Structure 1
Amino acid sequence: MTIGISITLILSSILLVLLVLLHKGKGGGLSDLFGGGFSSSFGGSSVVERNLDRLTIITGVIWFVCIVALGLLLKP
């Protein structure tokens, strides 16, 4: 059981980092460093931004649940 939660935690951590980096920057952040021109030309749609926000929140909740579950399962 802990192995499955650990794998889910690792995958959600990687996905969460990638999703945060995909967000449109408010100027001079990491999102501008990794293709600010690309995200500005395709990130104009508010539907895409809302879906990216939702996916980031869902991934963050999954990450948080995995952290809590591992903390409860591995508690001595």
Structure 2
Amino acid sequence: MTAPILILSIVLIVLSVILTLSVLLHKGRGGGMSDLFGGGMSTSFGGASAAERRLDKLTVVLSLLWVAVVVALLVLYRWFP
């Protein structure tokens, strides 16, 4: 295993944990699994707050980084088996 593959693998693990936590921090939109954990009991008046929008953007950025790291690992494994 080469150093770039090892580094990207560690980055992928860290990104996966952070991405999972950011998804779990989102407020439930009603129905589904979020109601099971009490997410359906709260209602939001006036749309999403600034914190919710910031969390949405963070989640999108983290997911794009995650996909980029996965693609980079695939390329590295292709050239350095």
Counting helix residues as a fraction of each chain, which structure ranks higher? 1
**Equivalent of 2:55 in 49, 52, 70:** 52
Higher Rg: 2
Q: The residue matched to 1:24 in structure 2 has which SS?
A: coil
Q: How many residues align?
A: 73
RMSD: 2.3
Partner of 1:5: 8
**TM-score scaled by structure 2?**
0.73
**1:59 partner amino acid:** L
Q: Which 5+ residue runs of structure 1 have no aligned equivalent?
A: none
Change (3 A) 1:15 1:31: farther
Percent of pairs identical after alignment?
53
Distance in 2, matches of 1:31 and 1:19, equals: 14
What is the CA–CA distance in structure 2 between the aligned matches of 1:22 and 1:29, rounded to whole Å?
A: 15
Gaps spanning 5+ residues in structure 2: where? none
Aligned pair in 2 of structure 1 residues 40, 10: CA closer, same or farther (>3 Å)?
farther
AA at the equivalent of 2:30: G
Structure 1 length as normaliser, TM-score? 0.77
Query: SS in structure 2 opposite 1:74?
Result: helix
Residues 18/33 of structure 1: CA separation in 2 closer, same or farther (3 Å cut): farther
Counterpart AA for 1:18: L
